[in-house]
Every structure is written in C-alpha cells, then in structure tokens.
Amino acid sequence: MKDIYLLFCIISLFAGVSSISISCFIYNSTKKKALKLFIALNLSFFVIQNSIALGLYSKYADQVSSFIPFLYKLLDFLGTSFSSLFGVFFINYLFGLEITNIKKKIFLSIFTFQFTGLAIYYLFETHYIFKFIMRASIFIVILYELYVGLKNFKQVVNKDLKQAIKSFLLITIIFLPFMILESYKPYIQLIKNIELFKITSLPSYFLIINIFNLIFVLKYFNTPSFIANNKLTDYFKQKYDITEKQSEIIELMIEGITYKQIAEKLFISPKTVDNHVQNIYKKLNVNSKMQLSHFVRSNEK
C-alpha cells in the first residue's frame, strides 16, 4: 500500500510542476489577475504535496535526517495556511465578484487565525483538540468555496469556464468526505486502521486537480483579457462585435451606474441606453447586469 501511496505522490508532483510551469508561461503574456491567484494557489498546493511526500519518506525510510521532519512540518504549515488565503481570493476573482474591504478583512482574519494556530501547534505540540479545530477551519474554507461556486454557477456564460467550474465542484464534492475522514481518522476508532483513506484523500485529489488545472489553464486562461484598467480590450470588442457606444455603456454598467446616470453621462436618452443594453445582452448571451459583470470581470487583466 505504501508503494502505491508514494507513486500517487510522485505522479501528482510531476503534474503539479507541469501545471504551474505552463500557467507561469501564459501569465507572462496575459497578466490576468485571476491567473496570478491561480498560480499562487497551485504553488501552495504543490507545497502541501511536497510535505506529504516528505512525511511519507520520513515514516518509511530506515535513516532520516532530523531536518526532514522539520521541513515536512514547515511545508505543511505554509502550504495549508496560504492555500486557504489564495483559494478564497481566487474563487471570487474567477466569478468576477467584488472583493469589498469587509471581505478582505474576513479573509485575512481567517488566514491569520490558521497561520498562527498551525504555527503554535507545530512549535509547541499542543493538545490534539487544537489541531482538530485548525483542520475544521480549513474544511470550512473549502465549504465556503463550494458555496460560492454553486451559488454563482448559473451566472457564468463562458462555456469553458462553466465546464471547468462544474468539474472542480464535482471533484471537490467527491473527495471532500475522504479528506475529512483521513484528517480525523486517528480519533475515530472504526476507521483508525484503514489505510485506503490515505490514497483516496489528498494524493488522489491533488493528482486529479493538477491534471484538471493543466487542461483548465490551456483552455480558459490562454486567451486575451476582456478588460484591463476598467476599459474593455480591443479583443473583446472585436470578438463580440461591440460598438464604441456599447463599450462605454458596458464599462459604466459594471461600475454599478444606473441607466439614468449612464444616459446623463453619455448625453443620450434612457430609452436609447435601454436599447443598447438589450443589444449588448443578445451579443454576449447574458440576461442581467450581474451576468454581464461576471462575464467581463472573470477575464480581467
């Protein structure tokens, strides 16, 4: 069983390197905000995968340097806390959701709690209840990400993005119970000695996620941006046959300005604004201002 476990870890690491390398190459030419967070999230996952591999090595190797257990704990501590931080920011950017100051404070507070808590646990080897609470906070973050994905899924217009989100949600929903069981296995007598959970939790999840990420970054992120510095790009306007007037209206709409204010700002009647909006909706295949904002912001530079 340990050989299969190790094989999953090694393949997962190679897949992770491929995904991160290609993502960095594409980011160098597109500079998309969501892709930058996607790379950061993948790097934190990669750090966790290395900690798993080192933990396995230190457990089964005949002779292990005292530095290996320290490095394993350090990588687990950094990867886990930063994956939560990058994950919540990424899921919001991916859907084009506004990250308000309150949201930022909550996200940073959760990160600080996990970062400090894990540091205390590993430095002082505190009671297992402390680690129990830390792990629970990590799963709460994952559940929040699933909630955001399920809540906003219908607002997604881009077919590649919609398929990617559907796959991510499905993969996470399938593997989350196994990750929870593996995490709390030492405290549940009934499953305490079941080794299968080791493979069906994080190693398998990271392997599938890394392969999925590789496909996702090539299909979705490897295209020019729709908007940069709050201005629609020429690529977007040409791709969807958006006129200059429609472009101005879209830019104002996603800033949250009302039709009446847009009419006053562009010196046109509210009726003309409404006609332009209906034509925009038809061209982009969206049905609301929220869908429009998600569609444009999800591909922002």
Structural domains in the chain plus CATH codes:
2-221 (1.20.1070.10), 227-297 (1.10.10.10)
pLDDT for 216: 84
Half-sphere exposure of 184 (CA within 13 A, CB side): 16
For the residues 7-26, what does the mean pLDDT come to? 86
CB 80 within 8 A of CB 118: yes
Classify each residue of 195-205 as buried b or exposed e, where b means 16 or more C-beta atoms within 10 Å of its C-beta.
Answer: eebbbbbbbbb
Q: 126 — alpha (psi -120 to 50), left (phi > 0) or beta?
A: beta
Top pLDDT among 10 and 20 is at 20
Q: Give the three-state DSSP class for 300.
A: strand
Read off the pLDDT band of 254 (50, 70, 90): confident
Task: Residue 185: name the closest of 177, 193, 174 by CA.
Answer: 193
Classify each residue of 92-130 as buried b or exposed e, where b means 16 or more C-beta atoms within 10 Å of its C-beta.
Answer: bbbbbbeeeeeeeeebeebbeebbebbeebbeeeeeeee
Sign of CA dihedral 228, 231, 234, 237: positive
Read off the pLDDT band of 15 (50, 70, 90): confident
Residue 127 has pLDDT above 70, yes or no: no
State the pTM of this model.
0.81
How far is 43 from 182, CA to CA, in rounded Å? 23
- Name residues whose C-beta falls within 8 Å of residue 104's C-beta, 6 or more positions apart in sequence: none
- pLDDT tens-place string over residues 191-207: 667 766 666 677 788 88
For the residues 169-188, what does the mean pLDDT come to? 82
Neighbours of 57 (CB within 10 A): 14
DSSP assignment of 42-72: HHHHHHHHHHHHHHHHHHH-SS--THHHHHH
Task: Tell me which residue has tokens 């680690």.
Answer: 131
Question: What are the backbone angles phi and psi of residue 287, rounded to the nearest 5°?
Answer: -120, -5
For the residues 223-245, what does the mean pLDDT come to? 88
